[in-house]
Structure 1
């Protein structure tokens, strides 16, 4: 187990290097001038422009800029924005909000999706099964910004059940409740369908029928054998989806005015601020890799036949 973990951690290094390189190149290739709007409507004085470009290595070729940035990044220095603000401080303030939002969405996704999938998988073809299939299909078909807008209007503005937006200061669990439901709504539909399909297939398997014929109760056979095997692809999906939730929170955070990393990345891309974008995405990639490592380790708990030795 220890050797497997060390090997996976070593594999993360080239992935991080490759991801930062690709993001840096894409940001560098964006059209626009970082000096645009720095001096109002007038062009910046030549002395200021020269000092600005020298400070942020804009006179160097893109590959030299990346090498300098990568060297600082390896030392934990995420650089500064074009406004002179530390990127690390910005990430420190914003990432906890987005992580809290993503974890809450993942909890809704896991609890509601798995419960719905189990109920429909056991009673496949029944009334509840048809209701869940139709409702999840509707959710999958609607864009997330439409779901967010409708939920914000009815549950926030009209009925006043949840806050309309996140107020200034630290975002509370109550303020993030509705955005988390909106963010995880699409994934809830996928988890429910995935659980239902795998559970229904496993319930027809020979090992489940054999367990029941040997005297094991249906509840224990379904829960101990069928459900555990059915959850392996669900855990895989949720592990992948956690990274997608963090990266895909841009729309949700914009709708509910959440001071998270999604808004930060969006504004940084518009400002062509490479240090901010690369720093934020690097943390996203790192979180994604760690979560996938945890998911791989969970396989052994769900299925003892899977070994990492």
Structure 2
């Protein structure tokens, strides 16, 4: 087990280097002047532009800039954005809100998705199965900004069940509706994935053998069929967590959430490459660690899978 974890951690190094280099190259290749708007309505003076480009290594070749960035990153420094603020300080303020939002979305995705998928799987062809299939397909087909704006209007403005926007404190109650909106598509995918795998396992020979040997059907489904059906679902949920952290831009802007998504959008708009690369670097690390955790959970769900 420990050798496997160590081997996976070593494998993360080239992935992290490759991902950060690609993002670094793409972000700094974007057209536009990062000093635009820094001096108000007037264009910045040549002296200011020259000093700015020197401070942020913008005159260096791309490989040199990336090497300097990685040296700083190895010391835990995500760099200083173009406004003179440490990226780590900005993320320290915003990440707890986005992490809370993503965690709540994962809970919605796991609980509602699994329950809907199990009910549809064990009642294949019945009303509940058709209801789950149709409703999840409808949710997948509707863009998240439409779902968010609709729920914001009816549940927030018209019926006043939830706050329309989220305050700087980002309480649990305020994040309930945004978390559901953020995880809505994932709920649908998790439900359909659970249903498909459960239906397949219910037809397996091992389940019929277990029932023939005297095991109750409820226990056979709950212990054996459902456990094997959860492996693809766990894979999806684990990969989706990193996606939720990085994909919360639309949801955060709809509900005015001061999180990482809004910070990334603003940084891209301002051509602030240091802030974007720093944010994406943390997202890549979270995604890699989430995938490692998923691989370790395989052994818990299926004892035949060994990490020795």
- TM-score, normalised relative to structure 2: 0.99
- Match for residue 194 of structure 1? 193
Alignment of 1:1-309 (within 5 A): 1-168=1-168, 170-309=169-308
Distance (Å, rounded) in 2 between the aligned partners of 1:224 and 1:236 = 19
Q: CA deviation at 1:50?
A: 1.6
Q: CA deviation at 1:196?
A: 0.6
Q: CA deviation at 1:297?
A: 0.4
Distance (Å, rounded) in 2 between the aligned partners of 1:260 and 1:38 = 23
Q: CA deviation at 1:3?
A: 0.1
Which ranges of structure 2 fall in alignment gaps of 5 or more residues? none
Count residues in correspondence: 308
Distance (Å, rounded) in 1 between the aligned partners of 2:47 and 2:274 = 23
Q: CA deviation at 1:96?
A: 1.0
- TM-score, normalised relative to structure 1: 0.98
Which ranges of structure 1 fall in alignment gaps of 5 or more residues? none
Q: CA deviation at 1:94?
A: 0.7
Q: CA deviation at 1:46?
A: 2.0
Distance (Å, rounded) in 1 between the aligned partners of 2:59 and 2:134 = 57
Moved over 4 A (4+): none
Q: CA deviation at 1:64?
A: 1.4
Q: CA deviation at 1:122?
A: 0.4
